[in-house]
Structure 1
Amino acid sequence: MSAVTAETAGRRVEEVLDRLAEKGDADACAAAEDVVRVLMEFYGSGLARAVDLLGRPGARPATDPWGALLADDLVASLLNLHGLHPEDLPTRVERALSGLPQPVEQTGFDPADGVLRLRVTGSSGCGCAGTQESVRQAAADALACHAPEVTRVELEPAGAREPALLQIGTGPPHTGTAHLTPADAS
């Protein structure tokens, strides 16, 4: 893929807008111009954020030049959109899930249909459907930015976990024999 210059891209956009204008459909022209405007704002915001993040003192440690960029949702989404994100899918999923207000764990991912299954691991409040849905939605929103390969998030019910085993053992060792006298019992 050859690099597109700003001049070439600008010319191509103008040609497309001119073709639409020739057809005389004012609504289609206005819609196309809106699309161009929204995309320019989106990319402009992403580039401005990247420049700001890289320009901050201490924002880019020598050992991790990507840290500030990858932690930013807007920049990360632009990198993902163009297949430029340097992290693999499991790392990006973990990054997205680590920022959730409720701790969750992955119980499975099916790359064929893009479904990621999660389970809440910490206390999620009342356990009601609204709370569960807010956790699922927060995960879906974070993953849309960091791991667009995940197309749907399913949250296992809070009670789906195996119960913890209760270990029963002998009591503490006694160093002597304790005797209860009737006076001690009262």
Structure 2
Amino acid sequence: MADRPEEIQGDAHWRTAGDRIQTLLEATSAGGSAARERAEQLVREVVELYGAGLSRIMAILDDPALVDRLAADDLVASLLLVHGLHPHDVRRRVADALDRVRPYLGSHGGDVHLLEVSGDTVRLRFAGSCTSCPSSAVTLELAVEDAIRAAAPEITSIEVVSAEADAAGVIPAESLLAKIHANGAGAAHWCQVPEFAELAAGEVGGFVVGGVPVLACRVGDQLYAYRDHCPACDGSLAGAVLHRGTATKDPVLRCPRCRSHFDVVHAGLGLDDAERNLQPIPLLVRDGVLSLAVPTEPMDTPA
């Protein structure tokens, strides 16, 4: 069920609270060092007060199911983490974070396995078509890495173990992402798009998010987002609709201009030409707010 508008606005408001507090603290510097010190002390007192209150709440609760519900709420979980009160260890939090992004990975025909959490390092292995999908590295950075950092801020290193021969060894995430950044495909920022949730099942909508034309569609309960660009005719997909595929039970998107067909459920695969695929854009719920990973650099037009 989609979040109610007031819930989305509330989550978005609190997500940026830290930035607003920092801005206010910086503004107090205009009153001199003494004013700044008093403001910082005030913030510390408030944080410690609410930390003490949260600690007592967690001590009073004796229902594991209720504790799990609190830990599953993004806002509450972030506060518990700040005060060192989160009931789950780092491995459990990382595993839960990966579970939340698995539907997105599944839309690319892939999966991710948690191999090990050692100190501040997480080791992962991708499976399925994620290992060869051209957007797999972007998925790693913008979906998997983002989810892990939010759930376990103490993690400072993510390593990807090759799914091929063991001789291939470990691929540091930073090395993989560096290649993507060099092609201008990995840099992105998250934009909140709660309006996407208003799409009805089977509906396709065009949006401009962060200056990037985006096509979003809903298949059942799942939302998918792609760059608004047909790789076959080099035109916009505005006016495209979903059709029932003949070779697959999943709906396909048909370009209204050149009539090319694409599998929106499986990473925008070109059904008429496997070399011409739509460009998927990660679309995830972050802290209760539906968000899109908008590239900060222009996306290259596929050949």
Which TM-score band (shorter chain)?
A: 0.3 to 0.5
Between structure 1 and structure 2, the one with the greater Rg is: 1
**Which structure shows the higher strand fraction?**
2
TM-score calculated relative to the size of structure 2: 0.31
TM-score calculated relative to the size of structure 1: 0.48
